[in-house]
Amino acid sequence: DADVTQTPRNRITKTGKRIMLECSQTKGHDRMYWYRQDPGLGLQLIYYSFDVKDINKGEISDGYSVSRQAQAKFSLSLESAIPNQTALYFCATSDPGTEDTGELFFGEGSRLTVL
Amino acid sequence: KQEVTQIPAALSVPEGENLVLNCSFTDSAIYNLQWFRQDPGKGLTSLLLIQSSQREQTSGRLNASLDKSSGRSTLYIAASQPGDSATYLCAVRGQGSSNTGKLIFGQGTTLQVKP
């Protein structure tokens, strides 16, 4: 089983619909992230969380919200999806620990298409 | 603002060739640099992580170097194989974002190794 699991893996929806992407991890990491990947643009950070009570905006947070339900769970919501939110979404984790290498571990991605 | 560029965007080589992928970044004040591999429709797999104090890292047929002063990193793949075909992404974590885990990604180099 993957250490970082995203659901759904693929979703097609219509403009204006509310969508939730979920991420769960078994790595025991405190830090979790949501990134978005668009063709030719690399990955951009949407939101990140250091623990259950800590949520921070990334580069492109407009139109998105997140919830950190537990250490192991971090969900991303699109309250009213629009076509330019069509992208591949990645959840990632990291663990500063006593020696913070800064390494991130990614899930397999959730492909969202907004019609 | 940190910017990460990868050249070339695409590369096709015959099997067995040694090859070099390039990554450049505009701000040399980095915490670390990470190389990832992404297969079509899949997530990101971490290949090598180089801390700012290091000059290179090796894993099997892969060798990554880092020259902070010139803002460059290279990923060297020895004796390429068709299974190496994928998109390779480099990502930089700035010193200022050492507490966020925020990575700045390049657009990637898509590699095709022909049998």
Residue of B nearest to A58 (CA): B102
Q: Considering only A63-72, A100-109, B14-23, which range has the smallest mean pLDDT?
A: A100-109
Residue A12 to residue B13: CA distance in whole angstroms: 36
* DSSP code, position B115: -
Q: Which residues of A touch B41 (CB under 8 A)?
A: 109, 111
| DSSP code, position A53 | T
pLDDT in tens, B36-78: 999 987 888 889 999 999 999 999 999 999 999 999 999 999 9
Contact present, B45 and B112 (Cβ < 8 Å): no
Contact A57, A33 (CB under 8 A): no
- Please tell me the distance from the alpha carbon of residue A5 to that of residue A90, in angstroms, as a whole number: 10
Residue A25 has pLDDT above 70, yes or no: yes
pLDDT value for A100: 60
DSSP strand pairing (B30-38 vs B56-59): unpaired
CB-CB under 8 Å, B42 with A43: no
- Has residue A10 got a pLDDT over 90? yes
The residue behind tokens 């259950």 is A52
Rg over alpha carbons for chain A, rounded to the nearest Å, is 14
Using a CB-CB cut-off of 8 Å, the residues of chain A touching B34 are 102-104
What is the residue-wise DSSP string for B31-49? EEEEEEEE-TTS-EEEEEE
Q: Which residues of A touch B49 (CB under 8 A)?
A: 101-103
- Cβ distance B43 to A100 less than 8 Å, yes or no, reads no
For residue A59, the chain B residue with the least C-alpha distance is B102
The answer to whether the Cβ–Cβ distance between B46 and A94 falls below 8 Å is no
Tell me what the pLDDT averaged over chain A comes to: 91
- Asked if A108 and B98 come within 8 Å (Cβ–Cβ), the reply is no
CB-based contact (8 Å) between B32 and chain A?
yes
Smallest Cβ–Cβ distance between A102 and the set B36, B45, B101 belongs to B101
Q: Could you give the CA distance from residue B59 to residue B88 in angstroms, rounded to a whole number?
A: 15
Give yes or no for a contact between B63 and B54, defined as CB atoms under 8 angstroms apart: no
What tokens does A66 get? 């997140």
CA nearest B6 in A: which residue?
A42
Query: Peptide bond preceding A8: is omega within 30 degrees of 0, i.e. cis?
Result: yes
Residue A110 CA to residue A93 CA, distance in Å, equals 15
